[in-house]
Copies of this chain bind each other. A is one copy, B any other.
Amino acid sequence: MQHPRTASDDVAQGAAALVARLAARKPRVHCITNAVAQNFTANALLAAGCVPSMTLSPEEIGAFIAQADALLVNLGTFDAERREAARAAVAAATERAVPWVLDPVFIDRSALRTEFARALLLRGPAVVRLNHAEFAALAGAPPTAETARERARRHKTVIALSGEVDIVTDGARTAQIANGHALMGRITAMGCAGSALVAAALAVETDAWLAAAAALAVLGIAGEIAGETAQGPGSFAAAFLDALYRLDAATVAARAKVT
């Protein structure tokens, strides 16, 4: 389905507004995420002006969610503790209308993960962010703009399908975001940090489609800027955080490649 509205200007403006709003409002973002990604994710959120928290203890997740502006549930390390934490966090977020993002990492590698992700999908994430292999496993369908739109409509969510070009759709509107850099795939937790940034965007933008598209544009732009000076993935990771910290609205508006 081709939607008559062109998303390009909306998203570019939304991305520009996003960096300013995050810096001004400093939203609290709680992350249930894998141990590999925790440090880089926290640093990306801090660089963008947010206040991250990461506790997994089921007894206190409710208290943290009650004070959070958004939630990320990432399945990257799928142990019993994190499964229980994810369930408790989603229950608390639902009760308090805290928007949340599902990042079903590596569900293509394990049937158990796929099942768990499908159950979470029914709990109403504002956005599902995933790569092509993960989409195929979750949806049981090839990862295309058309299948993404269909699934977004069916589950009343936003699908953010990451790839060379990111596709973000709520079933009606679809944005394609071409920002990014090859080295983003060569450091661990870049995808997880991106999903955390989507969660942060939900805290300052109530249109979940716009929030997701704007966040991924910002992520890609920070990656492009980092790629201009990096010598490899080590210097890239540091330069990415620097770029995210220094981004201003004008730079984002000028660099966004959205169609």
Contact = CB atoms under 8 A, between A and B. Distances in A.
Given A60-B112, A112-B60, A36 B46 contact: no
Nearest to A78: B57
A2 interface: no
A77 interface: yes
Contacts of A232: 47, 241-246
Which secondary structure dominates chain A's binding surface? helix
A80 interface: yes
A237 B234 contact: yes
Interface string A134-155: 0000000000000000000000
A39 B36 contact: yes
Interface residues of A, number: 55
Interface string A28-62: 00000011111110110011000011111101100
Among A38, A111, A113, A189, the one with the most B-chain Cβ atoms within 10 Å of its Cβ is A38
Nearest to A112: B60
Given A186-B245, A234-B241, 14 more contacts: A35-B35, A35-B54, A37-B39, A46-B233, A47-B186, A54-B76, A55-B77, A55-B110, A57-B79, A59-B112, A60-B78, A63-B112, A234-B239, A234-B242
Interface of A: 34-40, 42-43, 46-47, 52-57, 59-60, 63-64, 67, 76-81, 106, 109-113, 185-189, 230-235, 237-246
